[in-house]
Structure 1
Amino acid sequence: MQYKKIPARFIYFFGAFGGILFGYDIGVMTGALPFLQNDWNLHGDAAAIGWITSSVMLGAIFGGALSGQVADRIGRRKTILIAAVIFVVGSILSGVVPHDGTVYLVIVRTGLGLAVGAASALVPAYMSEMAPARLRGRLSGLNQTMIVSGMLLSYIVDFLLKDLPDPWPWRMMLAMAAVPALVLFIGVLRLPESPRFLVRTGHLDHARHVLTLIRPADSVESELQQITETAAQEEKANARTSWATVFSGKYRYLVIAGVGVAAFQQFQGANAIFYYIPLIVEEASGAAASNALMWPIIQGVILVLGSLLFMAIADRFNRRTLLTVGGAVMGISFLLPAVINWINPATNPMLIVVFLSIYVAFYSFTWAPLTWVLVGEIFPLSIRGRASGLASSFNWIGSFLVGLLFPIMTAAMPQQAVFAIFGVICLLGVVFIRTRVPETRGRSLEEIERTETRQLSVAGQAASTVSTPSSHTKES
């Protein structure tokens, strides 16, 4: 297939749009849920609310895990196009679900989650392979901004559709998620396959042709050679790597650190706010959740501003410093409302929403973006593929469980108590950062691996030294 010369801006735009698509679907249920709840009379059914909300994340667990294998077989571009089609169909089916069709909606949204997981994993990877080297860092830095911008866009769309006659608001909100997926499909349809995939599958001439479309002529051969050498190195690394290697003593420390950070990011409860903020405001104020759709927009604006702040300060502070400060403030923001309510039960319950906004502000420029920066930096080449996939799976599992269990927990105990539990988890995350996670800022992957291996070796020698005198004592 012949393609026209592709402007870098075009690639850059759709690299950003993949994040918008991902963020849009994360946020769209926030505004739709109050109307769906009223239409289907789900106010007393916490389990149904949890399953409807979290089913996308359940599908994303498998979509993210399977997408890499599918993409290695048929290509990144084709897999993204398939995911976009599933996304369009799933969004439309979500909007036309039969009345009281809870099981139907859960099944449809689980299928939609397959596309969400695939898109979240593949679109940034494909675009980073396609974009010129000078744009890759910008793509990586903008990914979080685009995700939260997609969330904000969904909140605004939800707000604009809220005055439609029943039952159209929630149906249109869910169906409108097909629009960004359709835009992504049309855009990627114009793009060729990734040169890196073509090299890995032995299509060097095709890869060279694609590079001539997206690179200056004098850099094509040198980049092709670099891609070929890197692919050969990764193939050797993958051939020597198994799951036993990932969990071996040499790498176990780094795997625990990376996977632990990814898991803590979700179990700290951020998605409980993003998915359920109208219901949280309803519980606190007594006003109908369908009238509280300005609050998601406020949270979305905070997220976007926080992501921009992160881009400005990311390389000025250590990763562990930002995660420690963020986690500590987040934990305190969750715990203080419970403490204040315990001291003075007459306190205005809307105080919790103020503290949640403080939580979102610090989460937006610390744990939200830094989790994936750290995961990208901490794993050595030999285990990077498997370990990164494992971290992503734990992150999706945490997102699914928080989305499922939050309404069930709030039905069984006061909101302040639920958020206090998340606050304790935030503080445990800080302890984890300080004790288990190495600093990665300004250090190459090889330096991180050498340092941690050396520390493990020193620890092993110390243990051996301690045991030696005891054995001599026994003999004497």
Structure 2
Amino acid sequence: MEQEKKVSSRFIYFFGSFGGILFGYDIGVMTGALPFLQSDWGLYDEAAVIGWVTSGVMFGAIFGGALAGQLSDRFGRRKMILASALVFVLGSILCGMAPHDGALYLVLVRILLGLAVGAASALVPAYMSELAPARLRGRLSGLNQTMIVSGMLLSYIVDFLLKDLPETWAWRTMLAMAALPAIVLYFGVLRLPESPRFLIKHGREQEALRVLGYIRSPQEAQREVATIKDMARREERSAARTSFASLLDGKYRYLVIAGVGVAAFQQFQGANAIFYYIPLIVENATGNSASSALLWPIIQGVILVLGSLLFLLIADKFNRRLLLTVGGTVMGLSFLLPALLNTLIADADPMMIVIFLSIYVAFYSFTWAPLTWVIVGEIFPLAIRGRASGVASSFNWIGSFAVGLLFPIMTASMPQEAVFAIFGVICLLGVIFVRARVPETRGRSLEDIETNSLPIRGAAATGAGTVNQFDESR
């Protein structure tokens, strides 16, 4: 434990969120690699193969998130982040070694890689929310999103720099270089402490107090340990052992539906259709080669990073539900308006859709993108937090997998504007879900959220607890 005493709070927060780099890089790297892979293997008319190669990571992530969430309740968040980093290194190298025309091999390896990606997406928000103080939890948990989009931008830049290599070396190098951030993550996490809430849940109170001492004053650390212990005792009395069936228990169901619903809507809104396929979208709109459009992903990546930095400034100044409502509304209109304008204007500029997609990315970057993981990290009760975070992550990846797989198939059978209009409707449905089902969590401790969050309908009926739950003026 002497080594842990040397760990600074900045180091903890930085590497606690660094796991986002892993799946941010992998989300982005295929954007640039795909045109070269498509040319190298002659996949121009193979929409289903392209969809599976692209979405294989998301398919694996569906299971990786759920598995890691369950195992982290037993072995700890830190150990599972280390394991996911090792799997990521292995999977990235194997992707770069794919045999020529080995589509099935590449799909299977990317499914393996997805196990690590899904694990990181489940573990990082839970770890960060359990370390962050309530007053800073939105901002510090938002570091996860900053890491994700920084990983995406890094991959876009790497893709652009490698675009002049022979095509077979270009895409292989792009995919294999994903191992580098995973190696950095592994050695950084080796020095991280375990989550204090996990330690207390497993009877290691002194270790939890020591960890909280790195990032709290002594008085704050003592109070937080007492609060966590009290909540843990209450959970033990009500449910000595939890399982996935516990997620549907009456006292948890409302918060589980809220967290899982937000995670699912984030992906079904279609963001990854832009991030994975923007060169192909530009090619479809302009007729220019997709491999010559690799500057557009960098533009999208810069917008994402700037949006994530904006979120860090406003995260704890505006309510979660307000930001999700504004963001989802503008995102939906950004998808719907191009379809409407193309219907009304026969010779509309084909690049108009790319401009509207940039507006979508801008609002997504500081609302739904980071807030999904903030909410997933803070809304679930301690007794089910690992499993519930894993399920939320899995539903998020189900949406990502469906979008990644179906987008090239849909655009092969209908106009791009019609496909994006479908996503626009989903964005607006997400806003309705937030207003109806998601409690306000800004500025509240994890234990307070668990104790006092009631369904909106129930709160309205009783007239009780409205300030703690949904006061939009806070």
TM range (shorter): 0.7 to 0.9
Deviates more, 1:43-52 or 1:61-70: 61-70
Q: Which letter does structure 1 place at the counterpart of 2:3? A: Y
Look up the SS of the partner of 1:404 in the other structure: helix
Q: How does 1:438-457 map to 2 (within 5 A)?
A: 438-442=439-443, 446=448, 450=452, 452=454, 455-456=457-458
* Separation in 2, partners of 1:173, 1:215: 38
Partner of 1:280: 281
Equivalent position of 2:325 in the other structure: 324
Code of the aligned partner of 1:415: Q
Aligned to 1:414: 415
In 1, are the aligned partners of 2:70 and 2:387 still within 8 Å (CA)?
A: no
Distance (Å, rounded) in 2 between the aligned partners of 1:245 and 1:209 = 29
Distance (Å, rounded) in 2 between the aligned partners of 1:239 and 1:460: 31
Letter in 1 for 2:179: A
* Alpha carbons of structure 1 residues 116 and 244: separation in structure 2 relative to 1, 3 Å: closer
- CA deviation map 1:426-475 (0-9, x unaligned): 122222233333444455664786463584287599xxxxxxxxxxxxxx
Structure 2 vs 1, CA of residues 5 and 441 (structure 1 numbering), >3 Å: closer, same or farther? closer
Q: How does 1:250-269 map to 2 (within 5 A)?
A: 251-269=252-270
Q: Shift of the alpha carbon at 1:49?
A: 0.6
Q: Which residue of 2 aligns with 1:95?
A: 96
Q: Structure 2 regions of 5+ residues with no counterpart?
A: 464-474
Q: Supply the distance in 2 between the matched residues of 1:212 and 1:259 (Cα, whole angstroms).
A: 29
Amino acid at match of 1:427: L
Matches of residues 376-415 of structure 1 in structure 2 within 5 Å?
A: 376-381=377-382, 384-415=385-416
The 3 A distance-change label for structure 1 pair 212 and 12 is closer
Deviation of 1:307 (Å): 1.3
Counterpart CA distance in 2 for 1:335 and 1:315 is 30
Deviates more, 1:452-461 or 1:295-304: 452-461
Q: CA deviation at 1:137?
A: 5.9
Cα 1:276/1:324, change in 2 over 3 Å: same
Counterpart CA distance in 1 for 2:459 and 2:137 is 36
Which residue of structure 1 lines up, in the alignment, with residue 469 of structure 2?
Answer: none
Separation in 1, partners of 2:262, 2:44: 34
CA deviation string 1:312-353 (max 9, x = no partner):
223333333222221121111111111221222322211110
CA offset digits 1:223-257 (Å, max 9, x no partner)? 89546555444444542756555435555444333
Distance 1:418-1:220 versus aligned 2 partners, 3 A rule: closer
Give the secondary structure class of the aligned counterpart of 1:287. coil
Give the letter for the 2:70 counterpart. Answer: Q
Highest relative contact order (Cα 8 Å, sep 6+), 1 or 2? 2
What corresponds to 1:19 in structure 2? 20
Change (3 A) 1:186 1:213: farther
- CA change 1:10–1:259 in 2 (3 A) is closer
Would you say 1:7 and 2:18 are equivalent positions?
A: no
Identity %: 72
Q: Which residue of 2 aligns with 1:85?
A: 86
SS at match of 1:302: helix
Report the structure number with the largest CA radius of gyration.
Answer: 1
Distance in 2 (alpha carbons) for counterparts of 1:101 and 1:454: 52
Aligned to 1:107: 108
Equivalent in the alignment of 1:469: none
Name the CA distance, whole Å, in 1 between partners of 2:362 and 2:216.
Answer: 42
2:470 — aligned with what?
none
SS at match of 1:394: helix
* Distance (Å, rounded) in 2 between the aligned partners of 1:177 and 1:51: 19
Of the structure 1 ranges 444-453 and 327-336, higher mean CA displacement relative to structure 2 is found in: 444-453
TM-fit CA distance, 1:43: 0.9
Counterpart-to-counterpart distance in 2, 1:319 and 1:146: 20
Partner amino acid, structure 2, of 1:121: A
| Paired residues of 2:66 and 2:387 also in contact (CA < 8 A) | no
Question: Does the alignment pair 1:348 with 2:354?
Answer: no
Could you tell me how far 1:172 is from its partner in structure 2? Answer: 0.3
For residues 120 and 396 of structure 1, what CA distance do their matches in structure 2 show?
9
Q: Match of 1:468?
A: none
Instruction: Tell whether the 8 Å contact from 2:213 to 2:221 is kept in structure 1 after alignment.
Output: no
Corresponding residue of 2:74? 73
* TM-aligned CA distance change 1:339 to 1:373, over 3 Å: same
Distance 1:300 1:87 in 2: 22
Q: Give the structure 2 partner of residue 145 of structure 1.
A: 146
Answer whether contact 1:234 1:382 (CA < 8 A) is retained.
yes
Contact 1:148/1:304 (<8 A) preserved: yes
Aligned residues of 2:7 and 2:214 also touching (Cα < 8 A) = yes
- CA distance in 2 between counterparts of 1:152 and 1:75 reads 30
Distance 2:139 2:442 in 1: 17
> Is the contact made by 1:23 and 1:151 (CA closer than 8 Å) also made in structure 2?
yes
Number of residue pairs matched by the alignment: 460
Q: Would you say the 8 A contact 1:4–1:213 is kept in 2?
A: no
- Matched residues in 1 for 2:379 and 2:352: separation? 39
Secondary structure of residue in 2 paired with 1:452: coil
Query: Bigger CA drift: 134-143 or 291-300?
Result: 134-143
Shift of 1:289: 0.7
* 1:183 aligned residue: 184
Show the counterpart of 1:304.
305
Deviation for aligned residue 1:152 = 0.7
TM-score normalized by structure 2?
Answer: 0.86
Question: Residue 467 of structure 2 aligns with which residue?
Answer: none
Q: Is the 8 A contact 1:380 1:446 kept in 2?
A: no
Q: Is the 8 A contact 2:17 2:143 kept in 1?
A: yes
Corresponding letter in the other structure for 1:392? S
TM-score, scaled to structure 1:
0.86
Runs of 5+ unmatched residues, structure 1: 462-476
